[in-house]
Structure 1
Amino acid sequence: SPSAEFFDLVAAAHTATASAPAVAALLAGADLGAGPVVDIGAGTGLLTEAVARARPDAEIIACEPSVGMRAVLTSRVFSDEDLRTRVTVTADAAPDLDLPDRISAVLLCGVLGHLDAEQRAGLWRRVTRRLAPGGLVIVELMQFQEPMTLPETRLATATAGRRRYEWWFGGAPDEAESGVMRLHSTWRVHRDGAPQPEREVHDTYRWEPFGLEDVVAESGMTARTLPTRPGAPP
C-alpha cells in the first residue's frame, strides 16, 4: 500500500486514544486460554502491540497481506523481545486465511469493507467454526453505512524533523459498481514551512460500507456497540 510509509503518523494517535483502550477493556476479562488472538488486517501492528501489552498472557497471530505494512509490523515485532515470543506474523489475506483449529478472539479493525459479500461469507464461516465458546470478534467500522460523497478533507497533520505531513481523505460512490465506494487518501509532504508540498502520494481503494446490523446478519452472531474509550458513550 502506498500509505504504509505514512500510516503510523496518524494511526498511532487513533489507536492510542480510541481503538486500543476499547479493545483492551473488552479483552481484560476474556478467557484467552483456548487459542490465540487473531488480528486480521493487522497493518503496521499498532493494535497488535496494544493487545500484547494489555494481555501479557496472550498469543497473537497478526495477518497482513500488504508488503509495506507487513514490513513495519515485522520490524515492530522483531525489535521487542516480548513480542517476538508471542506474536506470529503472516502474509495471509482475509479471504484465504490459514487459521488454527481453535481461536480465542478475532480483531477485524478497518478490514471488512475491503471484502465483497462472498469473501465476507467465507471469512465468517471459517471464523465461527474455530472460535472458542464465549470467544470474541471485535469489529471496527467506518462511520457511514451507505455509499456517499465525502469531499476531500484534511484529517491529520504531523511533523517529523523538517517535514510536515498532511493526510487528506475523500470518497464517492463507485460509478461502475452499486453499493460500493472508492475511497481516496492523499499524503502531502511539505519542506519546513513551505506552503506547497514537495511530494504527494495517492492511494485509492474499493470499500463496501455497511453497519453493525449487517455484520450480525452476515455472521449469525449477536453484537453490541462498544464505547471508543472506557467510560465514553458508544
Structure 2
Amino acid sequence: MNDPYERSAEYIDIMIADAWDAFAPSLAEALGGVDAVEGTIVDLGAGSGRGVRAACAALPDDSPVLAVEPSPALRAVLLARVHEDARLRRRVTVDSGDALNTPLPDSIRALLAMNMIGHLPPGQRQELWARVAPRLAPGGRVILNLAPPTTPAHVPPSLMANLAMGDLTYEGWASAEPSGDHQITWHMTYRTLRQGRPLSEVTVEYAWWVLDEPELARELAEHGLSLRPAGQPDLGLYVASLASEGSEFKG
C-alpha cells in the first residue's frame, strides 16, 4: 500500500493538536442525543486517534468503537493512544483497512469521517455513502468536515503549525495547486529547527479531492441522508442523519 503519511507521520499528531482542541467541543455537541442510540461508533481515517478520544469522551459508555486507519505510521500512534487508556482499550478496535473495504457493523450509532473525505474521488464517496446509509441506526449521525479550499484553488504557502518541544522547534507549512476539475495537490513541508537553525526538512505531496456543501448535500440525499452545518462556521463541520427523521433530528 502506498502510504501518503509514511514520511510525515512523526509530525502529524503534534501539529493537529490545536485543531482538535477546537473540533472536540463541536464534535461533542454534534453527538448530543446519540447516547440514546444503540450501535457502534465508527471512525474512518482515525489517524492518530484524537477523534476516537474525543468521541469516547462525548459518549462515555461502554459501547464499541471501530477505528479504521490504513496508514501503518499513523496507526502506530493510534494504537499507542488507545493502549495507554484502560477505558479505550476495552472499547476500541483498531482496523488496518480503509473506508471502502473494512467490514462495517450492522448498526452504526455515529460515524466520523474527519479530515479524510478529500482522499476519496466522487465515485468512491458514493460507494461509501451506499455502505453507510443502510447501517446508520435511527437517531445516528455521520459527522465530517470539509477543509478549505472547497473548490480547486491556489493556496499560497502558509505556516499551519509552529510549536516548541524541549530545545527544538517544529514547523509545518502547506500550499496547494489545482490539479483537476475537482482536485488539488497539497505540498507539505515539515521542518525541525534548533534556535532558528534548520536541522531537517521533510516534503510530501498528495492529491486531495475537493467539494463544497451543496455538492456534499446532493451526494448524501441520493442515499437518503440529510445534511446540516454544525459547530463554529470556520470549522467546516457537518452532520448528516437519515432524511426520514426530518424535523425529529435534534442536537
TM-score (norm 1): 0.91
Residue of structure 2 in register with 1:89 after alignment:
94
Q: 1:185 aligns with which of 169, 183, 188?
A: 188
**Residue correspondence of structure 1 range 19-58 to structure 2 within 5 A:** 19-31=23-35, 33-57=37-61, 58=63
Residue of structure 1 in register with 2:249 after alignment:
none
What is the Cα deviation at residue 178 of structure 1? Answer: 2.8
Distance 2:23 2:30 in 1: 11
Report Cα offsets for 1:145-185 as digits up to 9, x if no partner: 210001111121011112100010000011xx332110111
Identical amino acids, percent of aligned pairs: 37
CA-based RMSD of the aligned residues comes to 1.5
Q: 1:130 aligns with which of 132, 135, 153?
A: 135
Which range moves more in the overlay, 142-151 or 121-130? 142-151
Q: Is the 8 A contact 1:95 1:120 kept in 2?
A: no
Residue of structure 2 in register with 1:163 after alignment:
168
One-letter amino acid of the counterpart of residue 59, structure 2: R
Residue of structure 2 in register with 1:103 after alignment:
108
Is there any run of 5+ residues in structure 2 with no aligned partner, and where?
A: 239-251
Distance 1:63 1:228 in 2: 26
Is there any run of 5+ residues in structure 1 with no aligned partner, and where?
A: none
Residue of structure 1 in register with 2:243 after alignment:
none
Distance 1:80 1:21 in 2: 20
What is the Cα deviation at residue 14 of structure 1? Answer: 0.9
Residue of structure 2 in register with 1:194 after alignment:
196
One-letter amino acid of the counterpart of residue 83, structure 1: L
The structure with more strand, counted as a fraction of residues: 2
Would the alpha carbon gap of residues 7 and 54 (structure 1) be closer, same or farther in structure 2, given more than 3 Å must change?
A: same
Distance 1:90 1:32 in 2: 26
TM-score (norm 2): 0.85
**Paired residues, number:** 225
Structure 1 stretches of 4+ with a deviation exceeding 4 A read none
Would the alpha carbon gap of residues 47 and 32 (structure 1) be closer, same or farther in structure 2, given more than 3 Å must change?
A: farther
Residue of structure 2 in register with 1:218 after alignment:
219
Would the alpha carbon gap of residues 122 and 160 (structure 1) be closer, same or farther in structure 2, given more than 3 Å must change?
A: same
Q: 1:150 aligns with which of 139, 149, 155?
A: 155
One-letter amino acid of the counterpart of residue 24, structure 1: A
Residue of structure 1 in register with 2:75 after alignment:
70
Distance 1:62 1:5 in 2: 19
